[in-house]
Structure 1
Amino acid sequence: MQGGRVRTGVGSPSVVATVAGVAAMVTIAGTVLPLDVAAVDGRRYTTAWTGPGSATGIPLYGIPLTLTALVLIAAAVLMLRRSRRGAVAAVTAAAGLLVGLVVTIRLAASATARNVELQRSRFPDLQAVDTPGIGAWLLMVAAVLAVVAAVLAPRALRGDDNEPPGGSRPGAALVAVLAAALAVVGSFLAITVTTFAGNPPSVGYATGWSFAVEPGPPGDAGQATALVGVPLVIAAAALLLGALIVLDMRGAERAAPLLTVAAGVVAGVFVAIWIAWLALVDAQSIADIGITTTLGAGAWVLLAATLVAAGLCVVLWLQPRRP
């Protein structure tokens, strides 16, 4: 309601709630349908919950994706109940988290397929899981819909008494810059460290940009890794932009949704990395072939970036509005 009239149009609460709800439903559907398809003795599928046959080491991406879908549903309900401030906070956080998860999942799948292709000269029977399934396409559609809802949601707050806190916040700007710096630095440090048994043993370092083995045999040269540095740098740029906006007299009000989306992206990337690492450790423990993988300094720096960015957003949304 604004000026005695019910608000309509693309920025109306009902439209935002509808888009967020559809994004949630599409996300849930995407978790149970095939993410990747491999032609190995027929067509085999990998979903966000299960792998082909009795395969081990399958990352359970379905857990964070389902939780994100629930947040989107909660945002839709809050928007319809006119709890718009909470709705905008929820939908922007969920949009960023979903984008971070989906992008990282696809980057990891592409890197895995590339590595299988590189190994085919040595192991001709290997098959690449490089064809995105319908689940992958649905998750990408869901991410786009969530972003649309996040873009439209702040318009529903205009003229509302529950707008995010206004005023210039120099302290918030500094925290946003710190979170951006941590995200970028974390992408260049070793996110995972893999030790290969041997005499002497070799160690592989995977960053957000490359994979290197020291000392590395010729066969490992050029191994691909998930380029999570790309979404992390984009999220860092959004955090820096939010840091500039938040210095304006109404900056905190305008920057809160942008900073929340960026924080969600960083969190989504970290959660996807962590879940993939847990699955890899499980597979290595069962196979027992002398390969162990641990989280490196880059992963812990990314965790710090996630906590700092998330803490900043919580303060912006919960702190009472300034005159």
Structure 2
Amino acid sequence: MTDSFFQPPPAADLPRFAGVPTFMRLPHVPPGHPRFADVDVGLIGVPWDSGTTNRPGARHGPRQLRDASTMMRAQNGATGIRPFEALNCADLGDVPPNPVDLHDSMARITAFYAEALKTDIMPLTAGGDHLSALPILRAVAEKRPVGLIQFDSHTDLTDSYFGGQKYTHGTPFRRAIEEGLIDPRRMVQIGIRGTMYDTEDRDFAAANGIRLIPVEEFHARGPFDVMREAREIVGTAPTYITYDIDFVDPAYAPGTGTPEVGGPSSHQALEVVRALSGLNIVGADMVEVSPPFDASGGTALLGATILFELLCVMAAGQA
């Protein structure tokens, strides 16, 4: 049983719509807090979307995900896992971004995560656009490259945009491989689909040994067979999980910057996360929730539920 300090308040004592919102109603334990070193998993907001090339708004994602996450209860109904009893979990707050300087923001993100990693806190991130993953990986993979399981409708392996811009939400994993943060032979991208400018990103994937699973293959094989292969690819070595909400069909998750039709259902969106249980996960993120395009709040609720499922597989890995 974990420290009672890290338990969310019972809903019978504090209604879910009341109180200052934190991720899953967990205590707010920012860097410098006296209990910071006691945290096992830290939920971190990255309210930043300066890498966005289409519809903006993911900078507002962490705040909306916090609100939606108040619906998460103590036990996973499908797996029985009770993450708040297995691990000391806390909301570490938001990285303070610089909205007018992309590189300064990335440096701030890396520094925030490096501070958490000093005390062996496992980071679970709510973004923010997908470029956020690059500065996070600079901290998480500082000592050795990691494997990567990416749920996404886009590869994010493009070399550049707009006359040579190397840092957008369409380039983070190309940069991460170039920087030696990811072992491309232990990398798998699941759900890729949509129209393309050309095949440059897929050619890069093939040349570097990245396993790319298009959504057509995902639907033909089913989530369990696809995840069996993904587990084999990353093996038992340290692995980072990155989850773009546009992996899910926009019928279920319309509130995102670059939606692509033909994707998985909300149920399949949860199934693939549950299939991660037992892997050597060193961090995870849920990105690209854009509240301005999420009129019903359903995208944020799905994103918060995915965060809870990620937390549950992290807890299972520490059992």
Calculate the TM-score normalised by the size of structure 2.
0.30
Q: Which has the higher helix share?
A: 1
Higher-RCO chain (CA-CA 8 Å, sequence separation at least 6)? 1
Structure with the bigger percentage of strand: 2
